[in-house]
Amino acid sequence: MTYIIERIGIWIGAFLTFAILSFLYKDNPFYKIAEQIFIGISAGYWFIYTIYNILIPNLFTPVLTDLSANRLLLIPAFLGFLMLCRLIPKIDWVSRYPISFVMGTTAGMSLILFLRSDIIKQTSETMMNPFSAPDLAATIGQLILIIGTITGIIYFFFSKKHEGAFGTTAKVGIYFLMISFGAAFGYTIMARISLLIGRLNFLLGNWLGIIKP
């Protein structure tokens, strides 16, 4: 019985894979069916997951089993309830309070983390003596890093007109940006091809059984 259910699942998976890939030819009803199924299942999955894996273990069980030790949990529960008031137009303004609370705490927490990890540590990483590198290749690499960082930042400095020496430096920054976008594009292609490999591995392995999945 388990085998039959598994096989049916694989056939449905194969059908949905072809339905999604058919969009490459042109938009068609099969693609739309697969798209709607995906959206529906995702929404349903998240709804149930939130209740059973987030709300019940983190809120309902602790509050119902030991309220005195978990009174603090009632505050986020209340804020969460206020968030749902958005569904009632007459009192939807109430939802702004939990939203502002979330925005404030997120901004406060992230500010410190980003300031330390992305600004201070990254800046100090660029402040180096390029000639202290062990070999010529490393020295060149460090020089390129310094030039790229400075010219890239200059390109994003819009309070001064990009002309003359300043404009030329900004132009060098554009080239560095283009190279980095090119690298990012290359990595993106690699990621997408990897996903195609995964799907074809499923079709040729699990579905057709031609290769070992």
Binding of other proteins by 58 (CB under 8 A): yes
Residue with Cβ nearer other proteins (25 or 156): 25
Residues 23-52 that bind other proteins (CB under 8 A): 24-25, 49
Q: Applying CB under 8 A, which of residues 8, 54, 69, 103 lies at the interface with other proteins?
A: 54
Choose the stretch contacting other proteins; rule: CB under 8 A; options: 64-72, 130-138, 164-172, 185-193. Answer: 185-193
Task: State in angstroms the smallest separation of the CB of 212 from other proteins.
Answer: 9
Contacts with other proteins by CB under 8 A: the residue count is 36
Residues 189-208 that bind other proteins (CB under 8 A): 189-191, 193-201, 204
C-alpha 188, offset from chain centre: 14
First to last CA, the chain: 22
Q: Which class for 113: exposed (0-12), middle (13-18), buried (19 or more C-beta within 10 A)? A: exposed
Residue with Cβ nearer other proteins (86 or 199): 199
Q: Is 185 helix (H, G, I), strand (E, B) or coil?
A: helix
Q: Which residues are CB-neighbours of 63 under 8 A, at least 6 positions away? A: 70, 73, 74, 77
Residue with Cβ nearer other proteins (110 or 168): 110
Tokens 């699942």 belong to which residue?
9
Tokens 């402040």 belong to which residue?
127
Torsion, CA 75, CA 78, CA 80, CA 81, rounded to 10: 180
Using CB under 8 A, list all residues that contact other proteins: 24-25, 49, 53-54, 58, 109-110, 113-114, 116-117, 121-122, 124-125, 180, 183-184, 187-191, 193-201, 204, 210-211
